[in-house]
Amino acid sequence: MNAQPRRVEHLQTDKGSVPVYTTAVIEQPWSSYSREDHATWADLFERQQKILVGRAASEFIENQQRFGMTPDAIPRFDDLNRVLKKATGWELIGVEGLLPELTFFEHLANRRFPVTWWIRRPDQIDYISEPDLFHDLFGHVPLLLNPAFADYMQAYGCGGVKAHGIGADALVNLTRLYWYTVEFGLIKQDDGLRIYGSGIVSSKGESIHCLESPAPNRLGFDLTRIMRTRYRIDTYQKTYFVIDSYRQLMDATAPDFTPIYAQLAQQDSIPAGNVLQGDFVYNRGTGEGWLNDGDI
């Protein structure tokens, strides 16, 4: 039996009304996972591992192997933490599910990554509207072993605490940055475009769509462009943003965002699917790109 997570309230955010669970940090109840839970992990793990060959960033695949995650059983947070703490000082903590924004930011700012302890039901294998253990562990945890990405995640948490004090509009801008990097980011490798965003790597359909479908735009990373760009939570993305390196994330986000938020407050948001003059547009096949000098 899956223990049921406890929903306590709903919160109105940029993503619509989302369930918010208790904020408590909980010990992973590992022995309570059912045989069905472990089988769900195994099915998802094996399926994504196959899909991600030649699609996920090489860092993602290598780091996942360093953790020694296998399809055999749901990993124990304690085992992963031994590897993680030594490498980058991050620690996984168990939670019931989505957290209020400030609580989430404070965890990241202290190098604690909240992982939902429960896994989806078998009928939710292909789609679940909220993060579960598979998304959090399989999707987010591997890159926390990368020093530049690990620093970026902490900086994001600090930036979140700050944006929370500035106001709702600043939070909308910052949340879009998380969405288009941590959740749905692509990276340009020597051998072409690859996935590093956890929302993609934990989804079979989107792993294929983001690289192979002619429909979505693949645009070069641009901080303020991303902060202005709306996104959808209920369909595949219409636009993905491509970084050159994890270091680029750290460097581009180092400046104080306070004046940027003020300037963005004067500008309209950009619909999710638009391509604008000045966007750097990537070709999905070759991974080459060009500067768009007219509206498409």
The CB-of-157 to ligand PHE minimum distance in angstroms stands at 8
The CB-of-114 to ligand PHE minimum distance in angstroms stands at 17
Q: Which is nearer to ligand PHE, 255 or 278 (CB)?
A: 255
Q: Could you say which of 59, 140, 164, 198 is catalytic?
A: 140
Q: Could you say which of 198, 202, 203, 207 is catalytic?
A: 202
Asked if residues 42 and 55 have their Cβ atoms less than 8 Å apart, the reply is no
- Helix 147-166 / helix 101-109 crossing angle, nearest 10 deg: 140
* Alpha-carbon gap, residue 223 to 175, rounded angstroms: 12
Residue 38 interacting entry, from ligand PHE, Co ion, none, C-beta within 5 to 8 Å by type: none
**What DSSP letter does each residue of 14-45 carry, written as one string?**
TTEEEEEE----B---GGG--HHHHHHHHHHH
Binding mask 175-204 for Co ion (x = CB under 5 A): -----------------------x------
* Alpha-carbon gap, residue 196 to 216, rounded angstroms: 17
Residues forming the site for ligand PHE (CB under 6 A): 152, 155-156, 158-159, 162, 177, 253-257
91 is known as an active-site residue: no
Q: Which is nearer to Co ion, 74 or 264 (CB)?
A: 74
34 is known as an active-site residue: no
Buried b / exposed e across 202-219, counting CB within 10 Å, b at 16+?
A: bbbebbebbbeeeebbbb
The CB-of-255 to ligand PHE minimum distance in angstroms stands at 6
Tokens at 68, concatenated: 């020694």
Q: Could you say which of 59, 101, 183, 206 is catalytic?
A: 183
The CB-of-118 to Co ion minimum distance in angstroms stands at 15
CA pseudo-torsion sign 22, 27, 31, 36 = positive
Residue 256 interacting entry, from ligand PHE, Co ion, none, C-beta within 5 to 8 Å by type: ligand PHE
Q: Which is nearer to ligand PHE, 159 or 220 (CB)?
A: 159
In whole angstroms, how far apart are CA 103 and each of 46, 100, 122? 33, 6, 30
The CB-of-232 to Co ion minimum distance in angstroms stands at 15
38 is known as an active-site residue: no
Asked if residues 163 and 174 have their Cβ atoms less than 8 Å apart, the reply is yes
Q: Could you say which of 59, 107, 135, 206 is catalytic?
A: 135
* Alpha-carbon gap, residue 117 to 95, rounded angstroms: 6
Closest CA to 64 of 240, 202, 207: 202
**Residue of minimal CB distance from ligand PHE?**
159
The CB-of-108 to ligand PHE minimum distance in angstroms stands at 10
Query: Count of residues binding Co ion (CB under 5 A)?
Result: 1
207 is known as an active-site residue: no
Q: Which is nearer to Co ion, 226 or 264 (CB)?
A: 226
- Residues 187, 192, 184, CA angle at the centre, nearest 5°? 30
Q: Which is nearer to ligand PHE, 2 or 248 (CB)?
A: 248
Q: Which residues are catalytic?
A: 135, 140, 183, 202
Positions that interact with Co ion (CB under 5 A): 198
